[in-house]
Amino acid sequence: MEILRGIAVSPGVTINPAFLIGRQEFVIPTSMVDTSQADKEIARLKEAIDAAADNIRELRGRLAGTLTERYVGILDAHLAILTEENLFNEIAELIRKQGFSAEHAASRVLGEYARQLSSVEDPYLSQRSQDIFDIQRRLLKELAGEKDEPLKDLTGPVAVVAHDLTPSETLSLDREKIAGFATDAGGSTSHTAILAKALGIPAVVGLGRATSSVAGGDLVIVDGYKGLLIVDPDDATVERYRSSMAEIDIADRSLGELRDLPAETTDGRRIELYGNIELPEEVRTAVHNGAAGVGLFRTEFLFLQAGREPSEEDQFFAYLHAAEELGNMPLTIRTFDLGGEKVTAEHRHQAERNPALGCRSIRFSFENPGMFRSQLRAILRAAAHGNIRLLIPMISSIEEVYRVKTIVADTSKELRSEGVKVPENVPFGIMVEVPSVAVAPEPFTREVDFLSIGTNDLIQYALAVERVNEHVATLFTPAHPAILRLLKNVLDVCERAGTPVSLCGEMSADPVYTSLLVGLGFADLSLNPNAIPRIKRVIRSIAHEDARRLASQALELPSARQVSSLLLENLSQEARALIA
C-alpha cells in the first residue's frame, strides 16, 4: 500500500480500478516543408482549426443545461482563442516565411503563448497556460488525423489517473464511468479543479508522481476530502473507507430534510450558518443548502476570473444579482483580497520577497485608490437594494480602520452628490486575520459593527506556516493551543463589547471542530455552501453544555496533538460519519 498526498479540490471518496492516462506528447511528423507547399499547409491549418472549433461547439451543446454558464463559458473562451484571426495569421506567417509544417508552426505559436502565461507569478493566471495546452492538443490532434478517445470503451466505473487533465477533457468525462480522478499536476485554482466540483467528481491534484506509482487496473482510493491517493490499499483500509462511505451516503440521503430546520443544539443553542461564495451564481446553492445568508463574498474572484479589473458597473450588477437572490437575508461583501500573488494583469507589481507579508488586501487597496473607490461605489450602490454588509480584509491596526471609514464616508458623500441613493448606515466590519487584532481586539470593537475571523490566514500568521507549502503543511493546524486562545480572546472581548463576531475560515466546515467552535461561543459560522447541511447535522446532534465542557478541556491542553485527540475522542456519531 502506498499513500500519496496532494491537493483536495473536489470532495468525495471513490474506490475503483485505476485507468491510467500517461503524459500525452505529440510527435510532429515533419517540421519543415517546401515553400511551394505553403498554401497547402495553410489550407490544412484552416481545416484543422474549423474541425477543432466544431468539436468544441459540439461538446458545449452536450453540456448546455447540465452546468452553469460559468463553467460552460470555459469552452467559449477556448473557442474564442482558437478562432482568433491573429492566431491563424501568426501560424500562417511561420508556414509561409519559415517553411514550417502546420503542426510545427502551431506548436511554436501556442507553445510560446503557454510559456508566457506559465511564467507569470500569479498562480491563477499561470495555471491558465493549461487552457492553451488544451487548445494546442486539440489542434494537433486534428492536424494528425487522430480521434483517440481512451475512455470511450469503458464498461464500468474507474478512477482516472493522469499527468494532468485539460479543462475540455474534464468536461468530457462521463460521470457514469468516471468515479474520480487524480493527477500529477494541477492546482486548486485551475479550471479543472473548478470543473471537478461542478461535476461532483472526487478529485485530487498536485500528487507529483501518481502516474509513476500506479499501473492500469490497480485498485486505488481517491480521497477528495483529505487530498489522498491510496494505491493498492490493504483490506483493512478498504473496509474502513467503505464503512465510512456507507455512513456518509446514509447521512447525505437525509440531509435534504435539514434544509428548513434550524442549526440548533439538542439543548436549544441556535447557531446561524452562512455561505462563503466566490461568484454571485453560488448564492442559489447556498440558499438551497439552507444558508441564513452569505457571510463571505470573496470579491477578488471577480477580478481574477477575467484577469482584469471589472468596471464599477460590472461589480454593481454582480453584487445586485447576489443581493436579489438573497432577498432579505444578509450579504457580506469583502473588498478584494488582491496583491502579493493574487493580482490582475493590469495591476501586477514587481515580485515581492515575501508576498504573504507584503502589499496585499487592504494595503493593496490603499495603493490603488481608484480601484478601491470603484469597488466601494459599486457596493454602496447595491446596498440600496439589499441587506448588504461591508467587510475589510487583513486589518492590522486601528489607523487602517480610521482610514477606510474616511474613504467610505467620502465615497458615500460623492454618490449622494450625484443623486445616487445610498443607505445611511451600511454595516461595517473587519476581518480578524492578523495576530495584532486577535491579541488586542478592544479598540476595533469600538469602531466597527461586526468582526469576522478568517482562520486560514490567522493560523498562517500566528504559527509562521505558509498554508500552501507542502514542506511545512503538517504544522498548519487549527488545533494549536495558541489558535484556540486567540479565538477565545476575540470572543470574550466581543461579548463584553456587544459586538457580533463570526468565523469564516475552513475550520468552520470541518466536522472535527464543530463542537469546539460551538463550545467556545461562536453563534455565527460561515462556510462552503456544500458543507452547510453536514455541519448543521452535527450541531443538531450535540448539546451546548457538553460542547462548552469540551472547549474548556481543550483550552487547558498544551499541544495540538492532544487537542486533536480530545476532539476525535468526543466526536458525535453524526460527525464520525462525515469524516473518512
Q: What is the pLDDT of residues 215-225, one digit of tens each?
A: 777 899 999 88
Burial class (CB in 10 A: 0-12, 13-18, 19+), 316: buried
Joined grid coordinates for residue 46: 484552416
Q: Is the Cα torsion angle 143, 40, 28, 126 positive or negative in sign?
A: negative
260-576 CATH: 3.20.20.60
Backbone angles phi, psi at 118, to 5 degrees: -70, -20
Looking at residue 246, what is its pLDDT?
A: 78
Spatial distance between the Cα atoms of 404 and 567, rounded to a whole number of angstroms:
39
- Residues acting as catalytic residues: 191, 504
Looking at residue 345, what is its pLDDT?
A: 47
Supply the DSSP symbol for 570: T
pLDDT per position as a tens digit, 474-506: 788 999 999 999 999 999 999 999 999 999 988
Q: What is the rounded average pLDDT of the residues 558-580?
A: 86
Residue 578: pLDDT band (50, 70, 90) is low
Flag whether the pTM goes above 0.75.
no
Looking at residue 339, what is its pLDDT?
A: 72
List the domain boundaries for the chain: 2-24+157-251, 35-144, 260-576
CA–CA distance from 167 to each of 22, 280, 343 (Å)?
A: 16, 22, 22
Average pLDDT along the chain:
85
On the question of pLDDT at 406 being above 60, the answer is yes
Partners of 452 in the β-ladder:
431, 502
Identity of the residue numbered 330 = P
Spatial distance between the Cα atoms of 49 and 29, rounded to a whole number of angstroms:
18
CATH class of 35-144: mainly alpha
On the question of pLDDT at 344 being above 60, the answer is no
Q: Which of 111-120, 187-196, 339-348 has the lowest mean pLDDT?
A: 339-348
Of residues 187 and 532, more confidently modeled: 532
Of residues 448 and 81, more confidently modeled: 448
CB 117 within 8 A of CB 132: yes
pLDDT per position as a tens digit, 3-45: 998 888 788 899 999 887 755 545 565 668 887 889 999 999 9
**Domain 2-24+157-251: what homologous superfamily?**
Phosphohistidine domain (3.50.30.10)
Q: Is the Cα torsion angle 377, 380, 386, 390 positive or negative in sign?
A: positive
Q: Which of 208-212, 255-259, 361-365 has the lowest mean pLDDT?
A: 255-259
Partners of 342 in the β-ladder:
339
Residue recorded with cell 439589499: 386
User: Of 148, 196, 143, 175, which is closest to residue 135 (Cα–Cα)?
Assistant: 143
